[in-house]
Amino acid sequence: MKSLLAAAFAIITLYFIFDSGSAIKCYECNSFFQSDCADWFDNKTHNLVDCGDEVKMCRKIVQEVYYNDDWDVRYIRQCAASGEVGDNEGRSCKDRTGTYRVKVRYCHCNNQEGCNGASNIKVPALLLAVPLLTSIGLFFSKYL
């Protein structure tokens, strides 16, 4: 019974270790369609999207357009296949100004899941290895 419990515990732990994988998860939304995508962003209102194995960064774009005597601001959060992570783990952004009164701010990050939203807690794989090693020890303790 003890070995069956240890094996089940090990399988569940392995699932969580490999489920976290190398792909990053980011928030994907556009404030033009979803008003809760703007700042201040509440990460409880959106789910993280798996970006795929090739994508290693998240992006947040703040787009300002002057139209009809008013500034229209849009926030876009998405997975990023390319880009440059700014200083201070992506907290420093790149500002671009275009013609026709367009301003764009690009922020790229790759330091944690959902880094293009609010802070998020990520459990390190090493911490998940502790229950795995415990279950292996329980499994082999019957042979000692």
Q: For residue 85, what is the domain's CATH number?
A: 2.10.60.10
Residue 17 lies in a domain: no
Residue 9 counted as domain residue: no
Q: Are 112 and 122 in contact (CB under 8 A)?
A: yes
**Is 4 within a domain?**
no
Longest dimension (CA), the chain: 80
In-domain check, residue 14: no
Which residue range(s) make up the domain with 102?
A: 22-139
Please indicate whether residue 131 or residue 14 has the higher confidence score (pLDDT): 131
In a domain, 15, yes or no: no
Q: What is the mean pLDDT of residues 96-109?
A: 90
Q: Where are the beta strands (DSSP E) in the chain?
A: 25-27, 29-30, 48-50, 57-67, 70-80, 94-98, 102-109
In a domain, 1, yes or no: no
Domain assignment present for residue 37? The answer is yes
| Whole-structure pTM value | 0.64
pLDDT band at 88 (very low <50, low <70, confident <90, very high): confident
Instruction: Sort 37 into a burial class: Cβ within 10 Å, 0-12 / 13-18 / 19+.
Output: buried
Q: How many domains does the structure of the chain reveal?
A: 1
Cβ atoms of residues 85 and 109 within 8 Å = yes
Give pLDDT tens digits for 27-50.
999 999 999 999 888 888 899 999
